[in-house]
Structure 1
């Protein structure tokens, strides 16, 4: 790059990019909304209205959607000049917990079969992205929520020793750089800074026959962790790209408080507590191929190393006081989609997907009633001008009915009793809206007439 080009790029940075990167300072407080997990485990896939329209097919292969950088940092090179994007997604999940039998720990007293008609709360998930690409270089910044969970049950239900209220709030700041090595290969990488907060509550066994047992326990902690993101984008032919992205594990040590109370009102004890959690690494591979002027096909395969989550142990005074035995497997997601350019202003999308839950039947907990699921999505982009466009998407997810079988045969459940039931009537409705602005879009030449 010549000195003249470096100087021009520096001026463009100071004039365009620096003010834009100040936007998240305003946007972050808005992002403190609750969310329900709708990727495998407690992951959140809903980072983009644009890609939701294809059930997230093609996410790592680039495209007009700036959120592609969430899956593959090399994809920030896809859009020249300066672009910004904001998305807001409303997630309305539903899952019932049917209880076939439940008993108290030690005493074996029956707790009845009172289930929960709707275990998972609705949530709103906002995201923000900004990218700037010039010559062979590109930079990108994103504020996302890769993980999240809110499940809520009254502490009078039959499975109360296994969970009442659970929430996981997560926010991630991603800064990435990409460089175009050749006309057909771009590489990218960067840093993820991740904040997580978790809160878990449940009834606590006090050694008396129910309903005299009215102790309640609550654990609340948070932490900031760091990871990296890497990616490569291949241009196999004009209009055809293949992208592979990697996000590293992030080790988090949640520090907070363990509180025990009577009737969830009168405090009994409060102590400092910690819990270690390793967020999984992930590999996403996607393709995008423009068949002709109107049709584009897309696909994605994604692996998530949820087997890093084997147990969650809460410690006080350095000693274990509670353990959740999870024994999760790796998670897999597959999706395919199409895009049809109706006219220069309107593009239509549709996609299907299937996700294999990492949660095994043997350790499925009412705190996270995760099951295999089938995705069906549709959406569109409308270009108001060459620079300003809006995305809209709707998804319906069909969840499978899956068993719950938790017993004291697992030593971690010794003071939780027995819970036999199933997760049923699981489904999710998702609506997402996004806005995107390209500051450096090419301007049409003025028509000169005599």
Structure 2
């Protein structure tokens, strides 16, 4: 029997998730990326929607656009070095249940570099801004001889978001903002794959490898409000809408030295909406307190339905909402130097019973520190470092779930999870004077 005939016979099991969680190293819940700003990373993103010197506040709250007169620009570059091991206690082959051993992955997440940039222009009571960011992404990478190979080998998500925003200062205590988002997402996913079953006693399973690639554009919007409760004290609330995307691409299959012509494949995906609430309060001329609570509607990701020329497949994910809590402080050391630090805790949206090596996401604790140095009142530099501690969490994937019949079983855990993040930014205000001055709130 030829490989093509096996593939036709196995058509219902050939559809694979186009975008399923290729970002195991993502540093926000699910496959999100939080590292959009060096300035706010220094406080573990406490106060990120409440304004400040960092232009990136517009990402979370368009009403928090900078009202520094004239043009301001900011460029961030962040290096993310994650680590997570997948320990395998037992693994069984699909259909037959044959023992696949306990070869795990010592480090399943890859390092990455994340650039983001922002610009704002303000006059009178108006400000406009643009941001180029990457809200989702990163990579998981395992060789295709490990025991969990039917649950994924190499997986990648690449994402770029362009956001345009406008803010209007209604009065001394209220500023309102809105924006639009254009989001591009691209995914690649590989793994071992059942290509067919030869009727026999016992059945003979024909295995090979699959590679899925796809992309799509989507659109969303932002809303926000910034309240000045007292001199030096602001409260910001921002909303980022969900974005409906339909990943469109190709499914490629290979095995026994043969390659099946690529099959077209699509998978609808709803990127979650998000609400961020932050405060910033300058309690003395030197000390500022900051805090943030953020909710992300990851519960929109309940199933991934993939359609291809070979049929349709449904993957149950059953994600929960994600929550992030952070607090931080900023200390104005002198007119040129501001120091900051922060602590945060994040609840993963991924439940224990659906955690996958494609996305070994767990609860995490953030410790961050950073500073801003003003060379002049026009030109400044931000620096931040974060260390994230990940929790040890189980992986329990069984063929009793219909979605896993052609993937077999995988029992193990995600362990030794941590992340080191270093970020640097340069910011220039064309409308400011050149004299160094105290950072304004």
TM-score between the two structures when normalised by the length of structure 2: 0.90
Alignment of 1:205-244 (within 5 A): 205-206=194-195, 207=197, 213-244=206-237
Kindly state the Cα deviation for residue 444 of structure 1 after the two structures are TM-superposed.
5.7
Match status 1:50 vs 2:39: yes
Kindly state the Cα deviation for residue 409 of structure 1 after the two structures are TM-superposed.
1.1
Counterpart secondary structure, 1:307: helix
| Cα deviation 1:192-232 (Å, max 9, x = unaligned) | 00000011111012448999854001111000000000000
**Counterpart among 350, 356, 359 of residue 347 in structure 2:** 356
**Counterpart among 416, 421, 430 of residue 425 in structure 1:** 416
Match status 1:156 vs 2:149: no
Point out the more displaced range, 203-212 or 97-106. 203-212
- Where does residue 274 of structure 1 map in the other structure? 266
Q: CA RMSD in A?
A: 1.8
Point out the more displaced range, 266-275 or 114-123. 266-275
| Cα deviation 1:247-295 (Å, max 9, x = unaligned) | 00000001100000126x7422311110110000000000000011110
- Where does residue 62 of structure 2 map in the other structure? 73
- Where does residue 431 of structure 2 map in the other structure? 440
Match status 1:59 vs 2:48: yes
Kindly state the Cα deviation for residue 312 of structure 1 after the two structures are TM-superposed.
1.8
**Counterpart among 321, 329, 343 of residue 334 in structure 2:** 343
Unaligned runs of 5+ residues in structure 1 are 1-33, 446-450
* Alpha-carbon separation, structure 2, partners of 1:181 and 1:432: 34
Match status 1:399 vs 2:376: no
| Paired positions, count | 410
Point out the more displaced range, 268-277 or 185-194. 268-277
- Where does residue 5 of structure 2 map in the other structure? none
* Alpha-carbon separation, structure 1, partners of 2:288 and 2:103: 50
**Counterpart among 234, 246, 249 of residue 253 in structure 1:** 246
**Counterpart among 365, 377, 380 of residue 368 in structure 2:** 377
* Alpha-carbon separation, structure 1, partners of 2:134 and 2:379: 25
* Alpha-carbon separation, structure 2, partners of 1:72 and 1:225: 20
**Counterpart among 255, 260, 266 of residue 262 in structure 1:** 255
Cα contact 1:35–1:124 (8 A) shared by 2: no
Cα contact 1:231–1:246 (8 A) shared by 2: yes
**For the structure 1 residues 211 and 102, does the alpha-carbon distance in structure 2 shift closer, same or farther, using more than 3 Å as the test?**
farther
Counterpart secondary structure, 1:174: strand
* Alpha-carbon separation, structure 2, partners of 1:432 and 1:93: 14
| Cα deviation 1:169-207 (Å, max 9, x = unaligned) | 100000010001111000000100000001111101244
4+ runs deviating over 4 angstroms: 208-214
Cα contact 1:35–1:123 (8 A) shared by 2: no
Alignment of 1:40-119 (within 5 A): 40-119=29-108
Counterpart secondary structure, 1:182: coil
**For the structure 1 residues 213 and 156, does the alpha-carbon distance in structure 2 shift closer, same or farther, using more than 3 Å as the test?**
farther
* Alpha-carbon separation, structure 1, partners of 2:143 and 2:341: 39
Kindly state the Cα deviation for residue 36 of structure 1 after the two structures are TM-superposed.
3.6
- Where does residue 6 of structure 1 map in the other structure? none
Match status 1:414 vs 2:405: yes
Q: Which has the higher helix share?
A: 1
TM-score between the two structures when normalised by the length of structure 1: 0.88
